[in-house]
A and B are shown apart, each in its own frame.
Chain A
Amino acid sequence: MDKKRNGALGFWAFIFCMIFVLHYAYFFDPQKAADGGFALYRGEIAIDFFFVLTGFLFAKQVNAIPDDRAFGWREYGAFLKGKLRMFLPAFTICWVVTFALLNKAVYTDVKTLFNNFMTSLLELLPFRSAGFYAAPVDKLTLVGYRVMDQAWVISACFIAMALLYPLYRHNRKRFEYYIAPVGAVLLLCFLFFRTRVLTGDSMLILDAKNKNLYFSFIGTYKAFGEILAGVAGYAIVRHFNAKKISKAKSHLLSLIELGSYLAAIGYMYLMLRLKLPKNFDYLAAAAIFIGVTVSFSEKSSISKLCDNGVFRFFGRFSLYPFLTFIMFAKTLPYFLPDMGTKQLTLVYMGLTLVSALIVMALEKPFVKLVKSMKKCFVKPQSLPEKETA
């Protein structure tokens, strides 16, 4: 399997991550955000980039397995383990720090601390988006207790991949050419039919009105739909890559790629200023899908420009601000009560990036520490061969 990262996607992952982070600055002035005077009102659509990208990477991973290798449950276990290893160490570090900061800022007594700890423990489960979520009352306030608001994204991705993997491996072609595109279209259209808006609070249950037929959160449906779209997109890219593309076409692709991303970002910024209807969310998501497809194909002329170590590092790095921002978004108004919204936003962005670098640096020693601790509890000879090695 080619482990080389795609520089262009790395760059855009970083950009969309920053947009998402910036979007959460609405915590500093919820009233202004509600009135629409907020810079990135629809910034949460940035998350759709990651869902689509996850679908592409998921398909790439499955396609890296030789065709003649039959699906086995051990392989499935290894796949899930790999996915958990990707985010769990950094996630755990961030969860602990966020919990501590949040409780330092908002709560004081031990009893409340214990209460909060017990109620938010479910957040550490990767299957939180299956339903385990004590939803807050108002998303614009801190009323309602959750440590890491963004954890649903990781959980929804994990659940979607965990459920889709056996199906995908069972019959790759059927999945890529039929189940993924049809499933994506049906699920996303169903969401549009029911909600009209793609985002909003993704942890809202789909049908709160009659309370009869709801099985999951909007966010989980969305994750399934967009990951399936990503898988379908991968099949399109494969089709692209089989053909040779002229320079003019390559420039055209660059234009499409840039145009798509910029259109999506422009919508996030201008949506309320131009009073665009909220159901344009779907068009923004479609633009992101087109952008990711072109970037993934590496056929555009700008993809070569982005093919360097800096952008690849950006791609790897983008996970960390995504995990760390909430610890400051929620607590800064308490720690710096006299600061204005703009200054707070600047401090928030700076702290998010610095803390992301720290978490990134801490992740490996943390994993090593956990592994070395394992030896204290289990005799090495009884561990499975791979782990002993």
Chain B
Amino acid sequence: MVKKRNGAVDFWRFVFAAILVIFHSSMMDIALIHPGEDYVFPFQLGSLAVEFFLLTSGFLFAKSMNKSRENNTLSWKGMWTFMKGKLMSFYPAYLICLVLTFIAVNLTRYLCHVEPYLKGATKADDVKNLFINFGKMLYESTLLRNFGLDFERLLDQAWYLSAMMLVLILLYPIYAKNKRRFENFIAPVLAIALLGFIFLHSQSLLNPSKKYELFYKYAFTYKGNVRAMAEICLGVVCWRVCEWLKRLDFTKIGKALLAVIELFGYGFAIVYMHFLANAYSNLFWHRLSLKCVPLMGEDAKAVNLGVPGQFNSVQFVMLFFLAVSVTITFSEKSAISRLFNHKFFTVLGQYSLYPYLLYSVFSANLPLWIQKWKLADKLTTDQIVLIYCALTFVTAAIVMAAHMFVKKRLKQRRERKLAAQEG
């Protein structure tokens, strides 16, 4: 049976992966090329694009669980089959990108004489460093970072994949044991309680590597894990709502309204990540306190100080908008959903994984290359960001093509082998 993919979801997957790539241009050490430049990178809150992927993961998890229930494959064995399927959907690409990043980072550092390959180091030192870095890569290849096995990082973005696997392993047995209780009670309660917990502690979804502490500095987990758990559960709630939406027959106006809501949710998220991140400043608090002067006297002026990050709460509003949009997109009930029913979007969706996994190659090394080839004076920071994006997307396309080619050949080989055995 051919798997039918949702073209609209694939399209948005690509859009949010692209935002993540662009956002990580800020990881480039621009000070190395243009010291003292106060450059504002695009999509300053672009890391929030991960919320889309967590929501879709939760949605697809619920979908898969319901399919397994229909097929009577919910069991411990079924769980490992599910986890294997999930892992295989991204692990080969992850491994390729990890190795490529490892090679690029070490080669660049060696050629540019950056730590640990400093100028004057002996060959024995270089070999030793290479082994050490190889060991680090092995740690990272286990994908157990968010389980606690967090060492030095090559692929910063891998936290999402690791957290997702951890959450799915934890949730699968609970979901499988009592589907209805999980969908109607546990998932919404967990989503709300955990998001409320994050809001209460930091009023922000950012910083997934922060450790949550209990009982005086006994860290118990990463914020990223709590965030992933909450949003995957929210994705399950989205699935439940989507099933209800699918049962309804919308009028033309209804479909148009759904399209408007869907686009508004995505549009707001994108605009927020790029434009509004800086708009929420303490300026608002200053104005408010001035208005309060007639009421409170000069004390009001003093009170307004020290309200950092108050408007990060909009991140949560954005997340709820995004959840609504994801639900509508998956329901395929909006007026624009048919526009995306094209193979092109399916390929785009599959492609989105590669730039997401590959950007570290360029964000870590591009400034060093520019410095080595003495291009710093010829390029503005805008151009460097553009080059970084172009290199990431082109390399991702090449890696994907190569990966697909090898995959196809391996499949053909396996089929031939099977045919020979049957023959």
Contact = CB atoms under 8 A, between A and B. Distances in A.
B249 A143 contact: no
B294 interface: yes
Interface stretch (B109-117, B134-142, B151-159, B181-189): B181-189
B410 interface: no
Interface in A208-223: 210-217
B296 interface: yes
A381 interface: yes
Contacts of B314: 118-119
Interface string B13-54: 000000000000000000000000000000000000000000
A77 interface: yes
Q: Chain B, interface size: which category?
A: 35 or more
A4 interface: no
A379 B249 contact: yes
Contact of A73 (B185, B193, B320): B185
Contacts of B304: 137, 143
A143 B298 CA distance: 13
B303 A378 contact: no
B418 interface: no
B225 interface: no
A243 interface: no
B264 interface: no
Nearest to A211: B201
Given A111-B279, A142-B288, A381-B249, A130 B300 contact: no
B316 A132 contact: yes
A73 B192 contact: no
A211 B296 CA distance: 30
B291 to A, nearest CB: 5
Contact of A115 (B291, B296, B311): B311
Interface in A105-156: 106-107, 111-112, 115, 118-119, 121-122, 125, 127, 130-134, 137-138, 140-145
A121 B321 CA distance: 11
B120 to A, nearest CB: 47
Contact of A141 (B199, B216, B303): B303
A212 B185 CA distance: 27
A383 interface: yes
A382 B333 CA distance: 13
B254 A377 contact: yes
A376 interface: yes
Contacts of A140: 296
A138 B224 CA distance: 31
B91 interface: no
A118 B296 CA distance: 26
Interface string B181-212: 10011000100110111111101000000000
A376 B311 contact: no
A127 B196 contact: yes
A326 to B, nearest CB: 16
Nearest to A166: B185
A66 interface: no
Contact of A382 (B201, B215, B247): B247
Interface in A132-188: 132-134, 137-138, 140-145, 162-163, 166
A127 B193 CA distance: 9
A73 B180 contact: yes
A378 B249 contact: yes
Contacts of B317: 118-119, 121-122
Contact of A212 (B192, B215, B253): B215
A145 to B, nearest CB: 7
Interface string A192-210: 0000000000000100001
Contacts of B250: 377-379
B249 A30 contact: no
Please indicate which of the listed interface residues A115, A210, A215 has the most CB atoms of chain B within 10 Å of its own CB. Answer: A115
Nearest to B285: A143
A221 B145 CA distance: 35
Contacts of A212: 213-217
Contacts of B249: 378-379, 381-382
A142 B289 CA distance: 8
Given A112-B284, A213-B214, A131 B295 contact: no
A122 B216 contact: no
Contacts of B288: 106-107, 142-143, 145
B310 interface: yes
A277 interface: no
Contacts of A365: none
Contact of B295 (A30, A127, A216): A30
A379 B251 contact: yes
Nearest to A133: B199
Nearest to A379: B249
Interface string A257-286: 000000000000000000000000000000
A137 B251 contact: no
B390 interface: no
A382 B200 contact: no
B292 A77 contact: no
Contacts of B189: 162-163
B414 interface: no
B307 interface: yes
B313 A132 contact: yes
Interface in B260-297: 279-280, 284-285, 287-289, 291-292, 294-297
Interface string B294-334: 11110110011011001101101100100000000000000
A131 B314 CA distance: 14
B2 interface: no
A205 B200 contact: yes
A131 B200 contact: yes
Contacts of A141: 292, 295-296, 299-300, 303
Nearest to A159: B192
Contacts of B303: 137-138, 141, 143
Interface string B149-186: 00000000000000000000000000000001100110
A77 B200 contact: no
A337 interface: yes
A134 B184 contact: no
7 contacts: A107-B291, A131-B198, A132-B313, A137-B304, A142-B288, A142-B295, A212-B214
The 5 A-B pairs of least Cβ separation, nearest first, read: A131-B196, A130-B196, A377-B254, A382-B249, A131-B200
Given A119-B310, A121-B317, A383-B248, 17 more contacts: A73-B184, A107-B288, A119-B317, A122-B317, A125-B320, A134-B313, A137-B306, A141-B292, A143-B300, A144-B307, A145-B284, A145-B288, A213-B214, A216-B196, A377-B251, A378-B249, A378-B251
